[in-house]
Structure 1
């Protein structure tokens, strides 16, 4: 699996900063100059955190148990897929 380049990290940060202050995507984290995984954080009513990895054709997002959830060619496509995830059952809107 390919590592994230500094350009990828900049794009993730740009996308995150372009969201409204109350968007479900609450933050992200990565360690190192070329990380293998970027952790994406969402509000508790949606998900807690999940790993984002690079693939040969784009990006893959897993749930917080490590199960593959979505793949997309671009980060923008992946963000739209993540926004479509319903909140966890039994949580207030």
Structure 2
């Protein structure tokens, strides 16, 4: 896994801060000086945390189990990925 640069972390923060206060993307976090993963927090039908990683071709957003569910060439596409993740209530199968 590649590490996120300071400018990429700044871009994630800018994307998040542009959102309305009641948007489902409720926050983000990372640890360390050169993180390999950023956690995206979202709430809609419960709190959820999605790991974001860098790939050779861009970025990948995974679900709670680590399965890649969205790949994007730019961080700007991240917002669409967060909005496209199904809520927990729609994932329950009878």
The gaps in structure 1 that reach 5 residues or longer are none
Q: Is the 8 A contact 2:61 2:81 kept in 1?
A: no
Instruction: Report the CA distance between 1:9 and its aligned residue.
Output: 0.4
Counterparts of 1:32-43 in structure 2, within 5 Å, are 32-43=32-43
- Tell me the number of residue pairs that the alignment of Structure 1 and Structure 2 aligns: 90
Alpha-carbon contact 1:70-1:81 (below 8 Å) kept:
yes
RMSD: 1.5
- Aligned to 1:16, the other structure's residue is in SS state helix
Match of 1:69 in 2: 69
Secondary structure of the corresponding residue to residue 89 of structure 1: helix
Bigger helix fraction: 2
Structure 2 alignment gaps of length 5 or more: none
- Quote the offset at 1:32 in angstroms: 1.2
TM-score (normalizing by structure 2): 0.87
Cα offset for 1:22? 0.3
